[in-house]
Each structure stands twice: as C-alpha cells, then as structure tokens.
Structure 1
Amino acid sequence: MIRDLDKTELALLVGVPVLIAFGFILPQWVVNYIQVSLGTGLVALGVMIQMRAGLVSFGQGLYFCIGGYTAGMAGKFLGVSDFIVLILLGLLASLLVSAVLGILIRRYREIFFAMLTLAISMILFGMLSSSEELGSTDGFNLLPPTYLGWAPKSEIAGHVLYIATVLPVTFCAFLLNRFLRSPIGFVNEAIRENELRVEYLGTSAHTAVHITYMIAAAVSSIGGVLWALSLGHVDPEMTNWTTSGQFVFIAILSGTGSIIAPLVGTFLLEILRVYAVDISPNTWQMILGTVMLLIIIFLPKGLWSLVERKRNRKNSHQSDLSANVLGE
C-alpha cells in the first residue's frame, strides 16, 4: 500500500508526528500560529484547487464563515460541543449551500467567477453584521470542544485541540492530493488550457467545475470550524472581502505545484504579518504588499517553484551522469 503513495502523501504522513511533536517542543505562541494557520490553510487549499482549473475565488471566505458560524450556532442554540459533530455539521452546511450556488457559479469564468463569488460572500457579511442574535459585528464565543463525550481539563485542553486540528487537516490534504490525481483533477487542468476542447471530448466542464467548487467549499468549511474552535470566537469578518483576499494571497504566495504549499505558505504569512506589525504597526500592509509584488516578479509560480527548481536541477544532474556513464 505504501508503494501507491506519492512523495506528497508520504510527506503528509511523516508530517503528522512531526507537527504533533512541535506542539510539545516549540514555544506556545508558535504553536498557536501553527494551529490557526492549519485552519486557514485548508481554505487556501480550496482556493488552490480552483486555481488549477483557471478559476480564482475572491469569496472563499463564504464557506470559511459558514463552517465557523455553523459550529458556533450549534453550541449557542443547541448546546452541541462535540468536535466531530461540529465538523460534520459545518461540512453538511457547506455542501448544501455550494450544491445550490454551484448551479449558477459553474457557468462563469475569469473575472465574472471572481466577482460573483465575492458578491455572494459580501451578502452573507451584510446579513451577519446586522443580526443582533448572532452578535452583529462583534460575533460571539464558542463552547469549549468535547471529544465523544470527553471534556479534557484546562491544562491539556489546548494540546488536545491542537492534535485534533492536525489530524483532519492532514486527512483533507491527503484526499485533495488524490483528487488532483483523479480524472476530474486532470480535467480541471484541461479546462484551464482549453475548455472548448474538453467539451468536444465529451466531458462536461460545468459538472467538473461544480464538483470542484463543492469540494473547495467542503474543505473551507472544515477550516472554518477548526479556526473558530482554535480562537473560540466567530465574527462577520470571516466572510469579508479582505479575508477572502488573504486566501488568494496565500495561494499566489505559495503556488499551485503541491498540496503542501498552501499549508506552509499560510504559516509563513502569519509569521510575516506578526513581524510586519512589530516593525511598522501603522504601515504593515505595505510590507505585505511589497513581499507580494516581489514574489509575483521573481517567483511568478509561487514559493513552491523553488522546490521544483531544485528538484529539476537534481534530475538534470542525474540524467547528465547517466548519459556520461552510457557514453563511456
């Protein structure tokens, strides 16, 4: 079975114990940023798999917010706090919404797709901001999570939640990697290059886009649940255009070459923001913008292209050695 795993999947499996070990070794503030970035990293993954089809979603915060608010409302109104149940509820809510909205959105491409997703997410932002029952612009707090009826003591609750965050994120990343290697994953790449030829070959581009949109919504909602539980709070800013823009920023910063890239890129962005705010509290956005500009100019395929370049050089060097041996 291990032979069927590619390098990305092996790296994900190796990364699980490494990340869990980090939770006990690294300073708590670093662990907190890793935990938060794992949740937002899933949303960036949702953006990334759509970019593989040539689609850029500026409204992915919609499903990030749906996941978080579903978990929050389940606790606020129903008293549900079980970790697994909250994830399942967030997943179900996102699938229902994306199944309906996907019927409309799957017909659009390029700037029209981007603006339509943005418009829908801002509708939810307006609704939540004016809802007094849900805390209006301030949002509300979540109940501490439980695990199949077990409520860990406060001394270990943070470690348990951290481990519980690592596992579903790794599992989702593993499944998304398989999705990109599936027929629909390859169809998405063909849609990005020439959608008309895809239709001529007898494959429905609308169906492929709709499925991809729903999968991106599902992982984004899981990320929203994990993020909300990590912070213990939700508010309408989760679906604001600035939040959705951050996920696009991460996808561009990281590149679309690997499932691992957005997860790493999310953490790097969190650390960059921390130091940018510390260096220049009033103009930290300029630092992020400058970094973004430099990456677009010098690394148009994202930070992961550095890994690919190193891998290509290694393969080229091995090919040259083999050619020299055969020549002798």
Structure 2
Amino acid sequence: MNYIHVSMGTGMVALGVMIQMRAGLVSFGQGLYFCVGGYAAGMTVKFLGISDLFVLLAIGVVAALILSAILGFLLRRYREIFYAMLTLAISMILFGLLSSTEELGSTDGFNLPTPTYLGWAPTGEVGRITLYILTCFIAIGCAIALNRFLKSPIGYVNEAIRENELRVEYLGTSAHKAVHITYMLAAVVSSIGGVLWSLVLGHVDPEMTNWTTSGQFVFVSILSGIGNVAAPLIGTFILEIVRVYAVEISPNTWQMILGSVMLLTIIFLPKGLWSLLTRKKKSKPQQTASAPAAGE
C-alpha cells in the first residue's frame, strides 16, 4: 500500500510535466514544486505544530502558487532548451539553499509526524488506510481537473503553441499568458504530490528538488506519453515496478536496465506507452469497415 502511495504522489508531479509537454515545453526542474509542497508542509508541522492534512495541502498549494506566479513572468518568454535549462537551474538553487540550511536538517532533511484529519488522529493501520484512500481520491480529482483543463480553450491553445506559436499570436491569443497559466497549474499539482509524498514517507530532504528527481518525472512522461491524463499515473506505477525488479535482478547496474527501457520506448513507441491504446482504437474501425467487403 505504501508503494501505491508513493506512485500516486510522484504521478501527480508527472502530470504537471505532462501538461507542459502538451505546449511543447519540457521542465527539467519540476522537482522544485515537488519540494516546495513537501517542505511547506514539513515547516508548518515543525514550526507551527499544525499537522492537519487539509491545512498542509492548502499551505503547499499557496506556496507553489506564489512562487510559480513570480517565476512564470520569467519562464513564459522562453521555449525549448532554454525553458528546460532555466527550470533546472532554479530547482538547483533551491537544492543548494536547503542543503546549506542547518535549521531544516541540511542534506538530511527532517521527519514529519502522522497527519491528522480535521481533529481526527488515526494511528497504525487505520492511519495508513485513511491516507491511502485520501491520496487516491486527490490524485483522481487532480487528473479529472487537468483533463477538463486540457479540453478548455487554454488547453487547445497549448497544443497550438506546440505546433506554431507565431500563428497563435497572429490570431490574437497571448501565448505568454497561456504558458504562464499552464506553468502555475503544473506547479500546484506538483506541490500537492509533494505534500502527499512527504506525509506518506514521513520525511523531507533536499533530494526532492535535485536534478535526478526532476529527471525521473520527465522519464515517466516520456515513458507513458502525453495522450491522456491517466498515462503519467499509470507510467509512474510501471516505472516503480521496473525499478524494483531491476534492482532485484541487477543491484549494481539497475540504472542500465532503466536506460534500456527508456531507449526502447523512444525507438519503438515515440509517443509513449499510451499510444498502444490509441493504435488499437484506430485499428478497430478499419477492421469493421473491411468486414462487409470481405463478405461480398
């Protein structure tokens, strides 16, 4: 159950990466908001003594909203490798700050207690099941909300930006504004994942915003594809399974197995694992259409 908890938390960050990829933007620093959510929750518990899950989620979201609103004015002007490198640089700045702050545990981070729920403080197995159920509901709710966003006017504008941003500007739509909103939404979803992930593990540390963590979220998005909001959640679960078996099979070279999986996916499924489902859906109408002709 703890395994599914972790997948749900990191899966929401992969969702944030995915909606940016819909606009042709790849964030190599999404761990920034994963970490902001986790540390906002952790600092609230550590310094204010508040452990209510819903309060911690609200504080994590507000922190991510404020930071992304400010950084969005800078990042919305850049595309392609410049956007990717800027997001990475900003996340590594936070990594350096947290690693050198002794009050927050430096590189070791600090622990979090079991969360409470509007005054109710379950412990043991009841607490784990409660957190598991809420994590699932929150993850599904975020996926539904993002699905509606992708089908909204701004969501379609993002796809147009990916194809031809100049034409979008000629049509009178602000590409900068659409990217800014998308960046903020991705930050909010990622911070929620960070809060839930940190509460499940009961610990936060600077590695949450390290480049290796952010790279994992990009890995999931490429592995799963951007065709549907369910893809990153499923892709995260598949990645965890591959990682567990890779470590079991080859403890010293398990990264090579993950790299091979990524390479094969890019070569044979450039649109990710979700493209396998879309291929089947496209092939069915062709088969049914050819059936009467065969009968004749």
Matched, 1:292 2:262: yes
Check the 8 A contact 1:273/1:288 in 2, yes or no. yes
Aligned residue number for residue 111 of structure 1: 81
Check the 8 A contact 1:76/1:143 in 2, yes or no. no
Worse-matched range after superposition: 311-320 or 145-154: 311-320
TM-score after normalising by structure 1: 0.88
Could you tell me which of 37, 53, 71 is aligned with 1:101? 71
1:59-98 alignment runs, 5 A limit? 59-98=29-68
Cα separation, 2, equivalents of 1:147 and 1:83: 6
Unpaired stretches in structure 2, ≥5 consecutive residues: none
1:223-262 alignment runs, 5 A limit? 223-262=193-232
Matched, 1:125 2:95: yes
Matched, 1:319 2:292: no
Q: Cα offset for 1:35?
A: 1.1
| % identical equivalent positions | 74
Aligned residue number for residue 17 of structure 1: none
Matched, 1:203 2:173: yes
Q: Cα offset for 1:319?
A: 3.3
Cα separation, 2, equivalents of 1:265 and 1:99: 29
1:3-82 alignment runs, 5 A limit? 31-82=1-52
**Deviation sequence 1:10-61 (CA, Å, 0-9, x none):** xxxxxxxxxxxxxxxxxxxxx2211100000000000000000000000000
Check the 8 A contact 2:224/2:234 in 1, yes or no. yes
Matched, 1:212 2:182: yes
Aligned residue number for residue 145 of structure 2: 175
1:255-274 alignment runs, 5 A limit? 255-274=225-244
The amino acid across from 1:313 in the alignment is: S
The amino acid across from 1:177 in the alignment is: N
Matched, 1:156 2:116: no
Cα separation, 2, equivalents of 1:216 and 1:319: 41
Cα separation, 2, equivalents of 1:215 and 1:286: 34
Cα separation, 1, equivalents of 2:160 and 2:248: 44
Q: Cα offset for 1:324?
A: 4.5
Cα separation, 2, equivalents of 1:90 and 1:315: 46
Report the aligned-residue RMSD. 1.2
Please list every run of at least 4 consecutive aligned residues from structure 1 whose deviation after the TM superposition is greater than 4 angstroms: none
Please give the secondary structure, in 2, of the residue aligned with 1:81: coil
Cα separation, 2, equivalents of 1:156 and 1:138: 29
**Deviation sequence 1:243-292 (CA, Å, 0-9, x none):** 00000000000000010000000011011111111111111100000010
Check the 8 A contact 2:114/2:123 in 1, yes or no. no
Check the 8 A contact 1:172/1:219 in 2, yes or no. yes
Cα separation, 1, equivalents of 2:74 and 2:5: 34
The amino acid across from 1:147 in the alignment is: Y
**Deviation sequence 1:143-195 (CA, Å, 0-9, x none):** 21000100013231110110011111110000000000000000000000000
The amino acid across from 1:101 in the alignment is: L
Cα separation, 2, equivalents of 1:247 and 1:155: 30
The amino acid across from 1:91 in the alignment is: V
Aligned residue number for residue 27 of structure 1: none
Cα separation, 2, equivalents of 1:87 and 1:194: 37
Aligned residue number for residue 155 of structure 2: 185
